[in-house]
Structure formats: structure tokens, C-alpha cells
Amino acid sequence: MTEHAVVIAGGGPTGMMLAAELALARVDVAVVERRPDHTLAGSRAGGLLTRTIEELDQRGVADRFLAEGQTHQAMPFGTVMLDMSDLPTRHPYFLGIFQNQIERIMAAWIAELPVRIYYGSEVKGFAQDGAGVDVELSDDRSLRAGYLVGCDGGGSLIRKAAGIEFPGWDPTRSNLIAEVEMTEEPPQGVRHDASGIHALSKMEDGRTIRVVVTERQIGPSGEPTLRDLGEALITVYGTDFGIHNPTWISRFTDMTRQAATYREGRVLLAGDSAHVHYPAGGQGLSLGVQDAVNLGWKLAQVVNGTSPESLLDTYQDERHPVVARVLQHTMALGTLQRQDERMKALVEMTSELASMDEPRRRLVGIRSGLDIHHDFGEGHPLLGRRMPDLDLVTADGPLRVFELLHDARPLLLNLGQPGDLDITPWADRVRLVDASYEGDWELPVLGVVSAPIAALIRPDGYVAWVGDGTPVGLLGALATWFGPASAS
């Protein structure tokens, strides 16, 4: 039986990001992926949100995605576009890039890292004991892992087999999504009616049309056909535009559910296996990547023996409420898409309110993921929030904060007197950098805050301790997040 410290079931965006995080932390990780390679049928998700782009930037790979996508500095809300250009980040935009491109780029990245991938193989079941998990594969092989992470999508076998409840809301509508050719020239753009949203757009090849159409009734489970698509188009547009040559037809619903727990012993969930929702706002893929970045370094520290298993509980404590809030947001956005005459009045009213500066900043904060605030107790506003990517001056010359996070290690940034902070007992785990920074400290949604003197930054970019010129609380934060002091 082959052994790995961590086995990930599912090599979609979440599984690949988690594999990268674990490999960077020198954990022996393997991914089991049902598909024969990373190729995806259809384009699927349409982009990346700001915080997710930042997280890729923290690992030095954001440019690979930016090179293939289109940036949009405004996001749709009801009848208006909300400006994002004043977000205090290097990436004040939504990056339009299809999931099949995202997965190709991610697969190329993890091919550069020590990640073992079992393509064309499916996890069929598992049994966990006090020391590990036996993972049964479809080809009669089995793997032994310290931990098993289910990144196996919304229908997650791992979640079901672990007996984890998936409470939430049943679907109230379904959409067909497809890539087809049409003999008639279709009207491009988005249309709303009482059933929901419909959209037709020409893809890059100039021939294929990407279709999203809301069905009049919730469609059956199982693969939709060209005929289903034609009927749905006729109902909305009065014609099927002569659809032919489909390369992809799929169905999604507004079912909204979230796993009751993200961990059952040595089995964890991330991405769609932990939460599903209507794709309004284009947030699903980004949420999964963020889950992976939150979980990766914690799981690595537990596997490497530097932190107790209880560190894993903070994954659920932090990500469950963040995702629950996004799920509420997607339900609201989805509801605003259903526009009968009365709903139109509500959409107009909320759109007008959303255009005002304070509501706009809050909504953009949620949608970008930049308003995430983990509750680490009282303190400076930066505590529990993501560290901004400041331009620093260091002994090694000018550096961005995110460049200091490329190796996914914790960072103590001392912006006070060089040599003021001593973390010798953690020097094997935490990098200490003396630096200076000239400029404002502007945080998303909050605005300008007072300049901290030091910040302890976790590998995921969230600030675990803020210094005001004294080391009060630093040793406690180091032990909480990065394990007990080494005896020297």
C-alpha cells in the first residue's frame, strides 16, 4: 500500500491549490483525480475575485492568470455596475478567465512542485482509524494517508461517506449552460424576466456562443440534451437560433448548502464539497481556492508535528462564517435576477441604494473577499484582516510584502527599530524581516488606519498579531499559530 502524508480526493481548482500549499510546506501530498488529465469539458466558472488573485500573488503565480484574463473594474449589482477601482489593492478588479484556463494554469504550476497525481482514478471509499486513513481507489489500489481531504465537488463522496450533514436550501430554479454554434445571429448580452437571467455571448473563436438560460421549471438531474436547450431558448427568445454542434451542455441550480462541519477526525472538506450555491457573483471557484489557502499551512504544521491537531479547528472557525455570509449574498443576488414588474421596482430601489458610496464600498468589500475579518480578539483593525501588499524597503532592497510570502512561511514584519524583536525560539519556522514603509495604511471598507509598528503574518496572508512598539502578546501569538517554542 502506497503511503502519503495527505491524500486529496479531487483535482479541481480547490484540490490543486491545496496540493500546491502542502507541497510548498514540504508535505508528501497526493491528488486522486477521476479525469484522465486536467482537461475540463466546457468553460464553467468565469473568473477570479480580488482576494483570490491576491492569494495567487502571495505565491508568485498571479501573473500567469493575469496574462490570460481580462480585468473588469466594476461588478454588476441589479441594474448598476459598482465601481471597484478604488479598492486599496494591486488588483482592484474581477479577472475574467474561464475555469478550463484556470485549471490548465494550475496544473502546470503544480507540475513544477513535488505533488503526486493519480489521474484517471476515483476514490471509492475510506476507513479512518486513530493513526490514519485507508483510501480505496477505483482501480483496486489503496492508499494510506495521515489525512484525507475531500475536494471532490458538490456531490462529494467524501462528505457523504464521512456522514457529514449538508444543511441548506433546496433548489428553486435551474439554468442550462452551454457552448454551441448557431445558424442565426443571436442578440448578445444579458436579459432578465420573471424566471431569472438569460445570457448569450460570443466566445473568443468568434463562432461558439456561450448560452445561459433559466428554465421555466427545475430540470431533472442527469445530463441535459440539445433538445432541452432548444426548448428553453424558444421559451425565452421565441427561437432556438438554429443551435447545433454543442461542445458542452450542463445544468446548475440555486441549491445552497454548507457542510455542518468541515472536519470529521482525519477527514476534511474544502471547496464545493463543503459548500454549494448559485453562481451569481462568480464566487464558487474563488471560495474553494481561499479554503485551500486557509487550510494548507495549518494541515502542513499538524502533519509536520509543529502544531497540535486543534489548529485544524480554526479552519472551520474561520472559513465557515466567511462562506455562510457569501452564501447569503449569492441568494440575494440570485433573487434580484428574477424580475417580474414588482421585483423590478425592488431591483431599482436596491440598485440606487447600492450606488451610494458607503453601501457600494461594503458590497464591493464582500464580493472582492477583501472584507474578510477573522475574530482574533480586540486590537488594531489589521488584526485578523489580510495584510496589504505594501512596498517595503529592506536590507535586501525594495520588496513587496507578498514577495516575502512566496514560500508560504510565516512572516514577522518589523517596521520599528531594526533588531527590536527577538523570536529566536521560532527562528526555524518564522521569518523575521526588518523593513520600513512610507505611506498610508488603507484597509478595504475601513479606510485609513494608524500605522502598526510590527505585524505577524500567517502564510495565508492574515495578520495574527499587531505590534505597537512593544512585544506584548507576540510570544503567545507565535505559540498559538506556529507551535511551541523550540528548546535551544
Ligand X SMILES: Cc1cc2nc3c(=O)[nH]c(=O)nc-3n(C[C@H](O)[C@H](O)[C@H](O)COP(=O)(O)OP(=O)(O)OC[C@H]3O[C@@H](n4cnc5c(N)ncnc54)[C@H](O)[C@@H]3O)c2cc1C
Least gap, CB of 330 to ligand X (angstroms): 10
CA 89 to chain centre: 17
Least gap, CB of 7 to ligand X (angstroms): 10
Least gap, CB of 34 to ligand X (angstroms): 4
DSSP state string for 73-113:
SEEEETTEEEE-TTSSSS--SEEE--HHHHHHHHHHHHHTT
Comparing CB distances to ligand X, the nearer of 144 and 344 is 144
Comparing CB distances to ligand X, the nearer of 134 and 468 is 134
Comparing CB distances to ligand X, the nearer of 43 and 414 is 43
Rounded distance between C-alpha atoms, residue 50 and residue 94, angstroms:
6
Q: Which of 279, 364, 286, 291 is nearest to 52 (CA)?
A: 286
Q: Which of 27, 30, 23 is nearest to 7 (CA)?
A: 30
Least gap, CB of 316 to ligand X (angstroms): 16
Q: Is 11 helix (H, G, I), strand (E, B) or coil?
A: coil
Using the structure block, give the residue that is written with the C-alpha cell 514584519. 413
Comparing CB distances to ligand X, the nearer of 21 and 33 is 33
**Containing H/E element for 16?**
helix 13-24
Least gap, CB of 197 to ligand X (angstroms): 12
Class of residue 467 by CB neighbours under 10 A (exposed 0-12, middle 13-18, buried 19+): buried
Least gap, CB of 261 to ligand X (angstroms): 17
Rounded distance between C-alpha atoms, residue 413 and residue 429, angstroms:
14
Least gap, CB of 217 to ligand X (angstroms): 18
196: left (phi over 0), alpha (psi -120 to 50) or beta: left
In angstroms and rounded to an integer, the radius of gyration of the C-alpha atoms of the chain is: 23
- Cell numbers for 484: 511551541
Comparing CB distances to ligand X, the nearer of 177 and 405 is 177
Least gap, CB of 442 to ligand X (angstroms): 27
Burial readout 180-195 (b: 16 or more C-beta within 10 A, e: otherwise):
bebeeebeeeeebeeb
Comparing CB distances to ligand X, the nearer of 9 and 387 is 9
Comparing CB distances to ligand X, the nearer of 4 and 380 is 4
Q: At what angle do helices 50-58 and 284-303 cross, to 10 degrees?
A: 40
Comparing CB distances to ligand X, the nearer of 107 and 453 is 107
Comparing CB distances to ligand X, the nearer of 285 and 303 is 285
Least gap, CB of 38 to ligand X (angstroms): 8
Rounded distance between C-alpha atoms, residue 9 and residue 11, angstroms:
7
Are 132 and 47 in contact by the 8 Å Cβ rule? The answer is no
Give residues in contact with ligand X (CB under 6 A): 9-15, 32-35, 44-46, 99, 122-123, 151-153, 157, 177, 250, 252, 271-272, 279, 282-286, 288
Least gap, CB of 375 to ligand X (angstroms): 25
Least gap, CB of 61 to ligand X (angstroms): 17
Comparing CB distances to ligand X, the nearer of 33 and 434 is 33
**Containing H/E element for 182?**
strand 174-182
- Cell numbers for 19: 496540493
Comparing CB distances to ligand X, the nearer of 61 and 123 is 123
Rounded distance between C-alpha atoms, residue 150 and residue 123, angstroms:
10
- Phi/psi of residue 456, each to 5°? -95, 115
Q: 10: which residues sit within 8 A by CB, 6+ positions away?
A: 31, 32, 33, 34, 150, 151, 152, 153, 271, 273
Comparing CB distances to ligand X, the nearer of 288 and 388 is 288
Are 456 and 379 in contact by the 8 Å Cβ rule? The answer is no
Least gap, CB of 12 to ligand X (angstroms): 2
Are 429 and 483 in contact by the 8 Å Cβ rule? The answer is yes
**Containing H/E element for 33?**
strand 29-33
Q: What distances in angstroms separate CA 123 from CA 135, 375, 488, one per listed residue?
A: 7, 36, 44
